Structure 1
Amino acid sequence: MTRDVAIELTSSYFDKGDFQSELAALVAFETESQNPDQSAELRRYLDEAMVPRLTSAGYTCEIFKNPDPRGGPLLIAERHESDDLPTVLTYGHGDVIRAQTDQWREGLHPFKLVEEGDRLYGRGTADNKGQHLINIAALEAVIAARGALGFNSRFVIEMSEEVGSSGLPEFFEAHKERLSADVLIASDGPRLQPDTPTMFMGSRGGITFDLTVDLREGAHHSGNWGGLLADPAMILVQALATITDARGQINISEWRPDSLTPDVKAALKDLPIESEGGPAIDPNWGEEGLSPAERAYGWNSFAILAMTSGVPEAPVNAIPAKATATCQLRYVVGTKSEAILPALRRHLDECGFEAVRIRPHDRGFFQATRLSPDHPWVQFAVNSLRKTAGKPPHVLPNLAGSLPNDSFTDVLGLPTVWVPHSYRSCSQHAPDEHVLKSVSRDALRLMAGLFWDIGEGGCPPPN
């Protein structure tokens, strides 16, 4: 009944191949939340994979219908040990991004786990089935070693994260008392470097929208009408060029945050940003005067995700009637989300581009969140991870990407600590998604140590 026993149980679990076989079983569920044809698979994942596993670990489980008809079901699992103990809420999502089956390289398939060297390939290995499997297995190891967790545990698994966590805030609001806790400890996203644990305490927010110039009905012959009809693509690209300068620095004042404070700068100082297998950073892109880490985690970034005008796959000699660009702003705390699109509208009008229409996407996006690295729960987790890993973790005030952390902070009022179990080159949301075996084994040990330490006492007192 020691910390080392719990950690070694997770090592044995991995070394015997149990993690790989259990992950393969989870990957086989074709839980594409963006594909309406797979809606039944979302419920089946909870019924057949999660409920039996958590029930056998002493949790009571209940599956709920999503309050948003666009969203999949949700699971709440609870293990209550004592009213005097702290309560830890844990989270995972069982839905995955679209499979993109025909784009995976030969020998791979999104819903079949394939092991090659240090990699385990399959959709959901990194995002997020492998990550919540690691946390469940770590909780089981602590129960096996101690006979109890030493704290109360609540687990939420949603099936709609890849469509913007539809209904999650409303569900949390309706079940706020049942989901009350002292802290969220969960896993999603990547480590900064594969060989070093990472923690983050929030995420950048994001908003996606289309900019469209629609001038007339139908295209017209460029020989007969060139120079006489306005070109929507030319108008659109010039409008886009006013949003940033030539190196991508944002020109809209409301989109420039004021929250890159000295303490945030200090937290980001010297954090690595490039990793093996990832692309090289463009040194002359983004906000001048900021380090790469400050640009990624402490600043806002604007991106043009896609553009169309005419028929790109079969161009003809005609001036098109319409041009559209799909755009996205990733933003940090300090940016007023409700002011983002009104500020863009004012900016475009002031620059003479009243013809450009703005259409926000129906898919909701997450708000920006951040927790101070000095928070007691953050320091507790840092010390636990350092003890297990033998070195300090990388600590980020917030993730560069987005996830539904705002539902935990704004609705449930929780401090949030995320310990990711993937790495930045995992091909998340792309063909050939994979997780590293070395990171997975290490993560199992880290989480067993962290959950053990919470049950051992010395964590921040219960709310």
Structure 2
Amino acid sequence: MSYESYFQSHREAQLEELKQWLRIPSISALSSHAGDITTAASWLAESLTRAGLNNVEIMPTVGNPVVYADYIHAPGKPTVLVYGHYDVQPVDPLHLWKTPPFEPEIRDEKIYARGATDDKGQVFIHIKAIEAILSEEGTLPVNIKLCLEGEEEIGSPSLPKFLETNKDKLSCDAVLVSDTSLLERGRPAICTGLRGLCSLEIVVNTANTDLHSGSYGGAVPNSLHAIVELLASLHDSRGRVAVEGFYEGVPELSPLMREEFSKQGVDENKIREGLGLEALYGEEGYSFVERVGARPTLELNGVYGGFQGEGSKTVIPKEAHAKITCRLVGEQDPQKTLDRIEKHLNERVQPGVRLTVKQMEKANAFNIDPSHPILQKAADAYGSVYGTRALFTKDGGSIPIMAAFSRVLESPVVLMGFGLDDENLHAPNEHFNLENFDKGLLTIVQFLKSL
């Protein structure tokens, strides 16, 4: 039986199995779902056992457990470590979902549920590809290990220590990850770079209470005025971050890199119109795809304070808040970046204003040379199934643990994603196109056999 025939004959059963997993609300950000995290890990372990993998373990960490399995029966052949995650994002705002987020439904050859594309559906492809090879051939062409965690959506805080502690157990010749996207339908891509991340929250305090704007206005500091002034100082008029030293470690775009970006054929007008914008915005001198894939950013994610109810309240608020994240590239150091931003803000605080800065997430950028032979094999595997060879891209998002995998295990990381950018990951009505579920199964089989 060909693999096309195998997967077609097993498709309905596999999708029903995927629905079981998607019904488990394994939201890592909410402590109220700790029991669901345990349930999802147990379900995953049972699925790996049914697939024919060995040494299946639910391994504790200081946070959520890691599910491990392996199949080491190919002496002298490469060892591939498959990484993914079984935790999912919160579902808010719930009223925007057309169907309940944990009641999977297939509509128009798309499966709708939280986690469908990020990352349960994509992890499931690997499990079923491995199961298919074992069923059809009785063994695997390479050695396989799986490391599937439950904290990716909260920054993988427990995994770096887990990797260090279990370095020998997880040793491999390559790390294989499906948690990224195609360029667009029918156009596969292999990500060779992910931006790093750092984040902080700031609070501005003035008086010890809110004040009447008639009695005190114009004579005391206003927390909202103060925070707006601070935040405005973070960028210059050309869209560049104005923090001293921010761009240390940022590589300049070479002509070859710019050529690779141009091959993607991104239509900026189409993006602008699709977003309902009159114009795009960003650092001068760079295209949309260059800004997103290869340049660092500093973004305001939330700014709030003062009266926000209906009508008017003439008040001078005593405090204001802002949440900030930076996407980092190249050799930018997350800790140094946070320290520089904090220094920048402290030097510009208005008189009479107290500033509190809370530093939070930190993750390094990830990069790999696209000429690496294993990436070339991955591109060929896509080509054999999709009919067009994968392009090499750099993505604007962050998978914080990728740099740690590369550093600790000293192995190339192969990012073979099967999602699409419009599948609403992290948003209401998340879904996964079943066309890429089907083709993803065949692509992973082809890739593993090619090694």
TM, length-normalised to structure 1: 0.89
Q: Would you say the 8 A contact 1:299–1:331 is kept in 2? A: yes
Alignment partner, residue 438 of structure 1: 435
Shift of 1:140: 1.6
Shift of 1:287: 1.3
> For residues 441 and 404 of structure 1, do their structure 2 counterparts lie closer, same or farther at Cα, with a shift above 3 Å needed?
same
1:279 and 2:255 are equivalent in the alignment: no
Aligned letter for 2:397?
A
The farther-off stretch of 215-224 and 440-449 is 440-449
Aligned letter for 1:258?
V
Aligned letter for 2:259?
A
> For residues 404 and 220 of structure 1, do their structure 2 counterparts lie closer, same or farther at Cα, with a shift above 3 Å needed?
same
- What is the number of residues matched between the two proteins? 444
CA-atom RMSD in angstroms: 2.3
1:357 and 2:355 are equivalent in the alignment: yes
Shift of 1:253: 4.3
> For residues 243 and 172 of structure 1, do their structure 2 counterparts lie closer, same or farther at Cα, with a shift above 3 Å needed?
same
The separation in 2 between residues aligned to 1:85 and 1:134, in whole angstroms, is: 22
Alignment partner, residue 262 of structure 2: 269
TM, length-normalised to structure 2: 0.92
The separation in 2 between residues aligned to 1:353 and 1:24, in whole angstroms, is: 55
The separation in 2 between residues aligned to 1:392 and 1:301, in whole angstroms, is: 31
Shift of 1:386: 1.6
Shift of 1:142: 2.0
Aligned letter for 2:112?
Y
The separation in 2 between residues aligned to 1:126 and 1:75, in whole angstroms, is: 19
The farther-off stretch of 154-163 and 246-255 is 246-255
Alignment partner, residue 326 of structure 1: 323
Aligned letter for 2:86?
G
Q: Match for 2:54 among 45, 50, 59?
A: 59
1:91 and 2:83 are equivalent in the alignment: yes
The separation in 1 between residues aligned to 2:227 and 2:389, in whole angstroms, is: 48
Alignment partner, residue 159 of structure 1: 150
The separation in 1 between residues aligned to 2:35 and 2:132, in whole angstroms, is: 32
Shift of 1:379: 1.4
Q: Would you say the 8 A contact 1:8–1:445 is kept in 2? A: no
The farther-off stretch of 252-261 and 298-307 is 252-261
Q: Report the identity percentage.
A: 24
Aligned to 1:145, the other structure's residue is in SS state helix
Alignment partner, residue 18 of structure 2: 23
The farther-off stretch of 313-322 and 130-139 is 313-322
The separation in 2 between residues aligned to 1:251 and 1:114, in whole angstroms, is: 47
> For residues 387 and 48 of structure 1, do their structure 2 counterparts lie closer, same or farther at Cα, with a shift above 3 Å needed?
closer
Alignment partner, residue 417 of structure 1: 414
Aligned letter for 1:435?
F
Q: Would you say the 8 A contact 1:138–1:451 is kept in 2? A: no
The separation in 1 between residues aligned to 2:279 and 2:287, in whole angstroms, is: 9
Alignment partner, residue 128 of structure 1: 119
Alignment partner, residue 371 of structure 1: 368
The separation in 1 between residues aligned to 2:38 and 2:342, in whole angstroms, is: 41
Aligned to 1:195, the other structure's residue is in SS state coil
> For residues 282 and 152 of structure 1, do their structure 2 counterparts lie closer, same or farther at Cα, with a shift above 3 Å needed?
farther
Aligned to 1:233, the other structure's residue is in SS state helix
Aligned to 1:435, the other structure's residue is in SS state strand
Aligned to 1:255, the other structure's residue is in SS state coil
Shift of 1:300: 0.6
Structure 2 unmatched runs, 5+: none
The farther-off stretch of 282-291 and 34-43 is 282-291
Shift of 1:248: 3.3
1:311 and 2:304 are equivalent in the alignment: no
Alignment partner, residue 292 of structure 1: 288
Shift of 1:311: 3.0
Aligned to 1:120, the other structure's residue is in SS state strand
Q: What are the equivalent positions in structure 2 for 1:7-406 lying under 5 Å apart? A: 7-14=4-11, 17-66=12-61, 68=62, 71-100=63-92, 102-106=94-98, 108-246=99-237, 248-256=239-247, 258-262=250-254, 263-273=256-266, 279=275, 283-314=279-310, 316-351=313-348, 355=353, 357=355, 359-362=357-360, 364-406=361-403
Question: 4+ residue runs of structure 1 moved beyond 6 angstroms?
Answer: none
The separation in 2 between residues aligned to 1:399 and 1:138, in whole angstroms, is: 28
> For residues 423 and 52 of structure 1, do their structure 2 counterparts lie closer, same or farther at Cα, with a shift above 3 Å needed?
closer
